[in-house]
Amino acid sequence: MSFPVYLIGARGCGKTTVGKLLARQLSYQFCDTDQQLQQHLDQSIAEFVAQHGWETFRQQEHQALLTVTSDNTVVATGGGIVLRDDNRQHMRQSGAVIWLSVDHQVLASRLTADPEMEQRPTLTGRPITEEIYEVLQQRLPLYQQAAHHCIDANQPPEKVVIDILTALSRDSLTA
């Protein structure tokens, strides 16, 4: 196995945490598109969106995805990366796409406890606990469309990694 593994899902689902653990298990590199973007833009995502808007941000996010796509890499994507059809197609065609699915109550709890929450711009202008359910409902079909596998990420990160490895090994057995 040498293709990229993309982790998709709502913000707070554990893509970065799980991605680092998964990369270690696979002896892959790890990359986070949000971190890549912040380094490239030299500012937080919230600051960039406030100055340039969501459409320009999504264009930058697409370029970051293309930049980090590489064999032997686990890529933690931004929660909204699935909003662009070309991103969904690119990930599906170039690697394995793993959707980390988490209940909206768990997401809200994780996000309100997150010290970096201010760096993530609100999508609706409402408090995170109110907006997460609505955003998830809009994005669920896109996550489903993009994913090769859906993994329950309500559990500890180590268990999520085991479930991903199991799914990926089933793929290699049927390939």
pLDDT in tens, 4-50: 999 999 988 999 999 999 999 999 999 999 888 888 888 888 889 88
Q: 110-156, pLDDT tens digit by residue?
A: 777 764 544 455 555 666 677 788 888 899 999 999 999 999 999 99
pTM summary value: 0.89
Token pair listed for 137: 């409902």
From the options 3.40.710.10, 3.40.50.300, 2.60.40.650, 3.30.300.30, give the CATH code of 5-164.
3.40.50.300
At 71 the pLDDT is 94
CB-based contact 31:75 (threshold 8 Å): yes
CB-based contact 35:104 (threshold 8 Å): no
Q: Is the pLDDT of residue 167 over 80?
A: yes
Q: In what order do the strands lie in the sheet with 29-32?
A: 29-32, 73-76, 5-8, 96-101, 149-152
At 119 the pLDDT is 46
Domain ranges (residues) in the chain: 5-164
